[in-house]
């Protein structure tokens, strides 16, 4: 199962920290233990969100600003009370569409690898550099995979070998 990358805004990080401090200060209801339970439940909710972000609906704010983004919301309700937090997020539709098109291209024995490589090589050199960074990031993620089977074992194992050549990570200079 592919997980989407979650990136918290600085505002979200600030709100989480404030909520944790508020729970920690509430010694009558558990203090630090209560804060830890809330944070654990939030982490579970965010993990579920990263696996299935499309299952949640659009936020009322959707379409009001930044029309290029589809703003969605998930209600986070860690307790049996009516209290809930709204988690607002966007799905990178452009990346999803590119991956979908690439998957369609390679899904079948007749895809033209040489033609694809030639088309990439004809792109501007700065774009080639950026494409390499994206491909290298994919290789880094495959290298971290813990679960694989015969269908992708070669990919995972070779990616681990490749990443041993990049101890500094996958960032590529933009020139």
- Give the number of domains in the chain: 2
Query: 128 vs 95, 135, 159, 170, CA distance in Å?
Result: 17, 10, 20, 15
Kindly state the tokens that stand for 46: 């965010």
Per-residue pLDDT reduced to its tens digit, 50-94: 988 989 999 999 988 877 788 899 999 999 988 899 999 988 878
End position of a domain, from candidates 62, 92, 122: 92
The reply to whether 135 and 67 lie within a common domain is no
- For residue 66, tell me if it sits in a domain: yes
Kindly state the tokens that stand for 79: 């307790």
pLDDT of residue 70: 85
pLDDT of residue 59: 93
**Which residue range forms the structural domain that includes residue 30?**
10-92
pLDDT of residue 164: 94
pLDDT of residue 83: 87
By three-state DSSP, how is residue 133 classified?
Answer: helix
The reply to whether 77 and 32 lie within a common domain is yes
Inter-axis angle of helices 125-144 and 113-121, to 10 degrees?
130
pLDDT of residue 2: 59
Residue 12: alpha-carbon gap to chain centroid: 16
Cα–Cα nearest to 132, from 102, 71, 174, 81: 174
Kindly state the tokens that stand for 169: 């990570």
Report, as ranges of residue numbers, the positions in the chain whose pLDDT lies below 70.
1-2
Model's pTM, two decimal places? 0.61
């Amino acid at each position: 199962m592919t997980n989407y990358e979650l990136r918290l805004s600085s505002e979200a990080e600030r709100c989480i920290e404030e909520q944790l401090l508020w729970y920690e200060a509430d010694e009558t209801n558990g203090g630090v233990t209560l804060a830890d339970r809330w944070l654990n439940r939030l982490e579970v909710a965010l993990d579920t969100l990263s696996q299935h972000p499309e299952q949640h609906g659009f936020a009322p704010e959707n379409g009001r600003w930044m029309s290029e983004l589809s703003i969605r919301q998930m209600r986070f309700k860690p307790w049996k009370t009516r209290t809930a937090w709204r988690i607002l997020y966007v799905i990178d539709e452009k990346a999803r569409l590119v991956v979908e098109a690439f998957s369609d291209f390679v899904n079948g024995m007749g895809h033209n690898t040489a033609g694809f490589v030639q088309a990439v090589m004809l792109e501007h050199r700065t774009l080639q550099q950026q494409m390499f960074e994206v491909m290298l990031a994919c290789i880094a993620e495959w290298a971290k995979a813990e679960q694989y089977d015969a269908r992708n074992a070669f990919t995972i194992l070779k990616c681990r070998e490749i990443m041993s050549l990049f101890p500094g990570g996958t960032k590529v200079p933009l020139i």
